[in-house]
Structure 1
Amino acid sequence: SLELLPPEVLSIVLRHADNRARLRLRSASRTLERSIAASDFHNYFKDVGRTIVTPNRCKNSRRNVCFLLEGVGENGFVLRFGPQLVIRLPKFDSEKGKKLLHLRRRLFKTAYINTLCLLNINFHKVPRNFIDDLLYCCHYRGMRIIYDLHSPATSTCARKFLLDNAHKVSSISVKGLDFSREKLLSLPRMDRSFTVPCMYYDDDCFLQLLRKGHCYLDLPYFDFPCPTTIIEAFEIISASPHEQSVRFCAKPKLMEDVMALLHFDLTRRGYVTSFDTNPKYTVENVMGEDALWTGSCRIRRDDSLIIANMYSSSCNIVITNCKRNTEDLMNRME
């Protein structure tokens, strides 16, 4: 019987018990009820990837298990803690909030989870102090904040929540919120990934984000006015003491200008160097099965790469010094 196990052994056994098992066990005896309330809950998995987590993905995939707090309608609220526990409150109020906090405290004391996801939370209807109480003693590696529609007041509260908690995580993904240049650059370095929200930023802001050292920086579409910015970004990542990558999308003309600055000429079989001396940069063209150039190439400098997939209307670009995940980065660009 679990009740006969020493407390320290029982705590280890309960670490990976899911919420369904916890609800069943706590109803078996007073001893197990107390043990579960005092236990740790470990909900880490190998990797949750860098895709945006949505409710459907959370529901159907263990790899995307997260602590999801969702605002629904005018003042509805949904709590999804992993795939087993889903609580829906069509109309949130303080009394229902207290009952939800009571249930959470009866299921575990401390939680270790991959990702905290806030989806369309209206902090004026679901108070910030309730969110903080719900997340008390919850440790999460990544944070995703997603808004489909939002008001300026909601944006202010959501940005403050992110800034207050950014130091706790190693990856951040934000969608649907605008950040000022100062707020964006004030965020600490992320050693897993950082997906930048749509915003008004310039070449200098882009380079400062790279100098910040974010391990994986994912940008929205941005047409850099100056091709030398790409070369400077390549120099920053090449000189970085740790693994670093950035991905973004731009107009094809930008990459054409970069190639011209690097003295590469375009031929029917891709780009080639325009002089015979030992160049600082070399180019490798990706050929298809029909021996024709695919429009993709890699610019190499020592162990660093610029990977470019050039299409008629856009160009997907990755700059990286990571040897391990070059193919993974290429796949994410498709």
Structure 2
Amino acid sequence: MTPSELRNQTQEVEFVFLGFSGIPNSHIYLFLPFLALYLVTVLGNLMIFSLIQLDPSLQSPMYYFLSHLSCIDICISSVTVPKILVNFLRQRQTITYNQCLAQMFFLMSFTVTEAAMLAVMAYDRYAAICKPLHYSHLMNTKVCAILAFATWVWGFLDAVLHTALSSRLHFCGVNKIHHIFCDIPPLMKISCNDVHINQLATHIASLFVGVAPFLFTIFSYFFILSSILKIHTGKRKAFSTCASHLTVVIVYFGNGLLNYNPPDAGYSLEIDTLVSTMYCIIPPMLNPLIYSLRNKEVKGALKKVLESQRKVYMGSRKE
């Protein structure tokens, strides 16, 4: 078979997801939980984003980056969950080749962007706490816009690289993916041609887009905590803000590490499915809860919005 014929055959493949194959009638039991998780994720992040846009007290660099994080979380969930829900309704866990590459491209783009955004948010907290006299200069409006734009471009470039390499894979009629969505590791597992370059690119990229942002964040918080311990007032507020962000960082990078760097023996299909679900669904859902429950300013802004809406409603009732 010529390379062109092999490529045409690959592009006609319809992949079948096996992630939930061990659960009888999984579409019946999992549709509502996945739908609920997705709605909580979208509504929670929309709430955070809307509050930041509406409340003047939240117009600071920290909340500017948090609004970007909310958008990214909505995008990550929307890349995977709607397709999963559609498959549940169809009772067939399938996806076409082109849809698979598109899903993988956007998933990689948004997840890498989120990792970079978390690192930027750590730098913002470092500048605010460790360099308070220079904070307005270090994190002015122009700098914030450039940093936010750079994180999106960084994610896009990484996704372009991996999608281009994955598009060169051939599957020789094998169409069963041991996963719940299209991602780099499961596609490499079922490829019938050499994946050495893809594996090398994945490991090298993980150092730059995963390990580097994580280490940068950890080192930033080392200096942040050192500075907090030296101050006499405002420790509680500083600890609260940093704890929220650090919790998000640990949840996100911890799940990413399990998903993209499994042990040599690998996971069972059920464990792999659970890890993948946690990585793409749980962090985006938890982020707005963590920031809203532990942040007095966000809770105060929400209270003001709800109070204003109540007054509007009561006024309309009186009329």
Range into which the TM-score falls when normalised by the shorter chain: under 0.3
TM-score (ref. length: structure 2): 0.21
Structure holding more strand per residue: 1
TM-score (norm 1): 0.21
Find the structure with the greater CA-based Rg: 1
Higher relative CO (CA 8 A, sep ≥ 6), structure 1 or 2?
Answer: 2
